Structure 1
Amino acid sequence: NEGMFFIFDYETAQSFWMKNTLISLDIIFVNKENEIVKIHKNTETLSENSYPSGKPAIYVVEVVGGFTEKFGITEGDKIVWRRM
């Protein structure tokens, strides 16, 4: 139930890779309207392949592979951010 949250200065096309990453991830790209624009599921570990957003994104969330499937998270869903 943990992940990494990336906040960029402005919305633009984003791309991530898995170099030096030992576990599979789901990479979630989110636009400024808090809409999920792309999910790459169960990414390949240690890969230098690019995982692009496909559309402009300002936020990226990385969670353990299978997380989005387990919780029914899909492209087009909205994310609500809460301060803890």
Structure 2
Amino acid sequence: MSRSVSKLVVALLFLFFGAVVASRAKDAGPPPPAVKMAVEPLEIVTATGAHRLRVEVARTPDQRERGLMFRTSLPSDGGMLFDFREERPVAMWMKNTPLSLDMIFVSRSGRVVSVALGAEPYSERVISSGGPALAVIELAAGAAQRLSIAVGDTVKHPIFER
């Protein structure tokens, strides 16, 4: 094959794959509208003291499904509390989520049962609670270490038994 034909083939392949990528991006369309959620105070008591946060609370299936998808930022004292209404093994993922997040899995009694640090943006890898959990708190990556959140710490919010 001559050099000019090779260049033409490469150029055509480039154009074809560019059109495929552009078509897929266009098909994806804009993100769906956000689902309205209440913002409520939450306190996490760790070895370094009590840390007060303001979290959006995802209570309905639609709210839990949407979660923090498509968000590009979170306030340093903000996050999301996912209320699963019953204590059971919980699995999360990062599909359509551009932020790296820390996930704190919490029992019905308000005890931290596991912590997943720095979940990879856009990943469909399943992140498991490792045991029964009533809720998950998602915070911006690095917040769990900054606040010294560890297994056994206490979370205070009305969804947890006291």
Common fold: TM-score over 0.5: yes
Equivalent runs, 1:18-57 vs 2, <5 Å: 18-57=94-133
Q: How far has the Cα of 1:8 moved from its partner?
A: 1.2
Residues in 1 aligned to 2:111 and 2:93: alpha-carbon distance in whole angstroms: 22
TM-score (norm: length of structure 2): 0.49
Q: Specify which of 138, 153, 156 is matched with residue 62 of structure 1.
A: 138
Q: Comparing both chains, which one has the higher relative contact order based on Cα–Cα distances under 8 Å and sequence gaps of 6 or more?
A: 1
Q: Which has the larger helix fraction?
A: 2
Q: Indicate the RMSD between aligned Cα atoms, in angstroms.
A: 1.0
Unpaired runs of at least 5, structure 1: none
Residues in 1 aligned to 2:155 and 2:135: alpha-carbon distance in whole angstroms: 10
Residues in 1 aligned to 2:86 and 2:156: alpha-carbon distance in whole angstroms: 19
Q: Which segments of structure 1 move beyond 6 Å, counting only runs of 4 or more?
A: none
Give CA-to-partner distance per residue, 1:16-47, whole Å, 9 cap, x none. 00011101000110001100001100111110
Identity %: 37
TM-score (norm: length of structure 1): 0.93
